[in-house]
């Protein structure tokens, strides 16, 4: 009777009512479910165990979506990040996660993220912990859907360009001009990388003398849609596409895969905080980015996001760049008070904000060059990872070059010029290359922020800022020991989401990266050989 009554009440309301584990809230139609769940007062969707603690997680990463689900009456298990509330629903989050429920093995929503439960001494506590770990019930099962057999093949080219952003396109343009044989790998259907988001791309293109016809030619004949997952010792690269896997042989490899990883270090998912522009966009999409917001912008990408969001946010723009309507300053300090962030600027003024959005210090994606055996040197300034030099021999026989942001170049047009310069270098036209040699990298002043202890460093392995602090406390310093202690960067994203976060905290070099850079089904890898038939 009571249920019927509640049902009636819910059905009769004009705006959708969401019942989350019995807590009733109303939301606007079209609200993403995770926003609704947060509005209902839940901090996390599921729990993870790490360092012997249970922790709430509202994980927004794209990893393991298959088990970051909640139960919705009438819909079954849904991913709250992709589910929009259109009508009245009842949501059940199994939050009974406790040591007892996990031991019973019946808990459906229990996270990954076991690492170093070795801090729990041996004995009874460890026995319980081990059972908890073994019962980690929401890990996906091994079988899954039926095996998709990929098309596997081989390709050979003279020059393989990894990345179709400004540097890769600049390089491709120069190689086309010089009539050299090359292939370009990029996972996105549209070429351009970060340049696609630049507001002034048309002008930029004109200014850079970018050849649109050449670009069309590249798309038609020279490109592979797929992700370059690594350079192996044999000197061959592996490219994984949607339903094919390719072994690519080449005589030259150029990494032009730039700064593709968004660093959401200052996680906004637990509390209002200091976040990156990329994360701000995501929060805006979910409707949870609220004024006042301070934007600190050091690049065109940040400026673009600022312009896109300013109409409905009324943000304050702080920038050392020459932009309209900005406060010309750097941020000196951000302090987390009980309710808001207090931002102190270099010019002495103070602003209160719910969010501080940074667009600064975009990280070069170092994983591939690091795997190939390059040593990097970095500026010593804390919080800065600027590759000033790549030295040493790549471990394979294949000559490897770097182009664009991956070398620490920052501006889009610099990257494009640098790509062209590398292209001319490869063709032997040193005069043209020298003319294009980019100006020295500008090292931006350091920015400081107060980081929430529960902010994520690494989503896949549930590593928080506090875990890094613990590692330091345990005197396990440096990236390699921190990685092994916390599990940072060892998850399925292979550091793409988190390497920059961790390095910012440590102010240090990246750890050794591992292949493949994208988890690849065993059956796909096996399809490249003839061992299957031999066995």
Partner 1 sequence: MKPVNSNIEYDVAVIGAGAVGLATSYHLASKGMRVILIEKNYAGSGSSTRNAAGFRVHFNSEHNVKFMVEGRRRLVGFGGEMGWNPIIFDSGYLWLLSTEADLQEFKRLNTMWSSLGVGGRFLDTHEVREVIPELNPQGLLGGFYGPQDGTFHHDLILFGYQEKLEGMGVPLLESSPVTGFNVSSRRVRSVLIGSKEIRAERFVVCAGAWSPQVTAMLGVSLPITPERRELGVTEPVKHFIKPFVISLKNRVYFAQGLRGEIRGGVTDMFRKGYHPLVSTLEWTVAYAARLIKTLPTVSNVRLNRQWSGYYEVTPDHSQIMGAHPSWPEGLFVAAGFSGHGMMMSPLAGELMAEYIATGRIPDLMRPYSPERFDENRLIDEAMVF
Q: What is the binding site for partner 1 (CB under 8 A)? A: 112, 114-123, 126, 130, 133-137, 139-145, 147, 230, 232-234, 236, 238, 247, 371, 373, 395-396, 474-476, 478, 480-481, 484-485, 487, 490-492, 494, 512, 514-516, 519-526, 528-529, 531-532, 535
Instruction: Catalogue the E-assigned strands of 277-372.
Output: 293-297, 316-318, 331-336, 341-345, 350-353, 355-359
Instruction: Give the residue with the Cβ less far from partner 1, 241 or 516.
Output: 516
294 close to 280: Cβ distance less than 8 angstroms: no
Instruction: Give the residue with the Cβ less far from partner 1, 419 or 489.
Output: 489
CB of 515 to partner 1, least distance (A): 5
Instruction: Give the residue with the Cβ less far from partner 1, 19 or 520.
Output: 520
CB of 422 to partner 1, least distance (A): 24
Alpha carbon of residue 74 to chain centroid: 33
CB of 527 to partner 1, least distance (A): 8
CB of 526 to partner 1, least distance (A): 4
Instruction: Catalogue the E-assigned strands of 288-429.
Output: 293-297, 316-318, 331-336, 341-345, 350-353, 355-359, 375-378, 387-391, 400-402
Place of tokens 């370059």: 228
Say how many C-beta atoms besides its own lie within 10 A of residue 378's C-beta: 18
Instruction: Give the residue with the Cβ less far from partner 1, 340 or 480.
Output: 480
Instruction: Give the residue with the Cβ less far from partner 1, 126 or 286.
Output: 126
Instruction: Give the residue with the Cβ less far from partner 1, 119 or 314.
Output: 119
Give start and end residues of each alpha helix (H) in 158-263: 166-177, 201-208, 212-217
CB of 78 to partner 1, least distance (A): 21
Alpha carbon of residue 508 to chain centroid: 19
SS3 81: coil
CB of 52 to partner 1, least distance (A): 10
Alpha carbon of residue 377 to chain centroid: 23
CB of 496 to partner 1, least distance (A): 13
**236-270: buried (b, 16+ CB within 10 Å) or exposed (e) per residue?**
bbbbbeeebbbbbebebbbbbbbbbbbbbbbbbbb
CB of 521 to partner 1, least distance (A): 5
530's CB contacts (< 8 A; 6+ apart) are none
Instruction: Give the residue with the Cβ less far from partner 1, 38 or 496.
Output: 496
Alpha-carbon span 66 to 78, nearest angstrom: 9
CB of 484 to partner 1, least distance (A): 4
Q: Residues 31, 36, 38, 44: is their CA dihedral positive or negative?
A: negative
Instruction: Give the residue with the Cβ less far from partner 1, 306 or 524.
Output: 524
Backbone φ and ψ of 246, nearest 5°: -125, 140
Q: In terms of Cα–Cα distance, which of 38, 46, 40 is closest to 23? A: 40
Alpha-carbon span 261 to 108, nearest angstrom: 31
254 close to 187: Cβ distance less than 8 angstroms: no
Instruction: Give the residue with the Cβ less far from partner 1, 13 or 243.
Output: 243
Q: In terms of Cα–Cα distance, which of 376, 342, 373 is closest to 356? A: 342
Instruction: Give the residue with the Cβ less far from partner 1, 41 or 105.
Output: 105
CB of 168 to partner 1, least distance (A): 23
CB of 300 to partner 1, least distance (A): 35
The number of C-alpha atoms within 13 Å of 34 and in the hemisphere containing its C-beta is 24
Pairing mode of beta strands 355-359, 293-297: parallel
Instruction: Give the residue with the Cβ less far from partner 1, 24 or 476.
Output: 476
Q: Which residues pair with 162 in a beta bridge?
A: 185, 255
Question: For 67, which DSSP code?
Answer: G
């Amino acid at each position: 009777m009571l249920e019927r009554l509640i049902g009636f009440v819910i059905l009769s309301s004009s705006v959708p009512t969401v019942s989350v584990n019995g807590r009733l809230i109303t939301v606007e139609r079209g609200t993403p479910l995770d926003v609704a769940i947060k509005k209902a007062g839940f901090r996390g969707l599921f729990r993870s165990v790490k360092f012997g603690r249970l922790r709430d997680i509202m994980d927004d990463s794209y990893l393991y979506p298959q088990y970051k689900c909640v139960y919705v009456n009438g819909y079954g298990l849904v991913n709250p990040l992709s589910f929009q509330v259109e009508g009245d629903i009842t949501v059940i989050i199994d939050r009974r996660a406790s040591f007892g429920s996990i031991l019973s093995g019946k808990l459906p929503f229990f996270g990954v993220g076991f690492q170093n439960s070795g801090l729990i001494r041996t004995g009874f506590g460890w026995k319980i912990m081990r059972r908890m770990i073994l019962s980690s019930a929401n890990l996906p099962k091994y079988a899954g859907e039926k095996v998709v057999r990929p098309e596997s093949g081989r390709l050979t080219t003279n020059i393989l360009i990894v990345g179709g952003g400004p540097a890769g396109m600049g390089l491709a343009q120069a190689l086309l001009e010089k009539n050299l044989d090359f292939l370009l790998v990029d996972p996105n259907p549209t070429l351009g990388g970060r340049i696609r988001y630049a507001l002034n791309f048309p002008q930029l293109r004109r200014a850079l003398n970018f050849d649109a016809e050449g670009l069309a030619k590249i798309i038609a004949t020279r490109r592979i849609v797929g992700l370059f997952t690594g350079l192996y010792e044999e000197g061959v690269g592996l490219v994984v596409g949607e339903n094919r896997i390719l072994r690519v042989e080449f005589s030259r490899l150029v990494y032009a895969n730039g700064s593709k990883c968004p660093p959401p270090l200052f996680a906004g998912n637990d509390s209002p905080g200091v976040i990156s522009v990329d994360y701000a966009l995501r929060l805006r999409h979910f409707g949870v980015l609220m004024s006042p917001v301070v934007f600190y912008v050091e690049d065109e990408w940040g400026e673009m996001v600022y312009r896109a969001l300013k109409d409905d946010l009324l943000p304050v723009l702080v920038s050392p760049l020459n932009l309209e309507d900005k406060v010309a300053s750097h941020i000196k300090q951000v302090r987390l008070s009980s309710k808001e962030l207090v931002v102190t600027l270099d010019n002495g003024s103070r602003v209160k904000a719910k969010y501080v959005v940074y667009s600064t210090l975009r990280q070069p994606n170092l994983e591939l060059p690091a795997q190939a055996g390059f040593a990097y040197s970095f500026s010593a300034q804390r919080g800065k990872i600027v590759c000033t030099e790549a030295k040493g021999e790549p471990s394979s026989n294949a000559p490897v070059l770097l182009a664009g942001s991956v070398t620490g170049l920052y501006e889009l047009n610099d990257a494009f010029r640098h790509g062209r310069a590398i292209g001319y270098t490869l063709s032997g036209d040193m005069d043209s290359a020298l003319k294009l040699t980019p100006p020295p990298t500008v090292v931006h002043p350091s920015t400081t922020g107060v980081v929430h202890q529960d902010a994520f460093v690494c989503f896949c392995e549930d590593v928080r800022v506090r875990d890094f602090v613990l590692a330091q406390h345990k005197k396990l310093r440096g990236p390699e020991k921190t990685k092994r202690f916390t599990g940072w960067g060892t998850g399925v994203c292979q550091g793409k989401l988190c390497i920059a976060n961790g390095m910012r905290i440590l102010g240090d070099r990246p750890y050794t990266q591992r292949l493949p850079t994208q988890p690849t089904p065993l059956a796909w890898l096996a399809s490249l050989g003839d061992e299957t038939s031999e066995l």
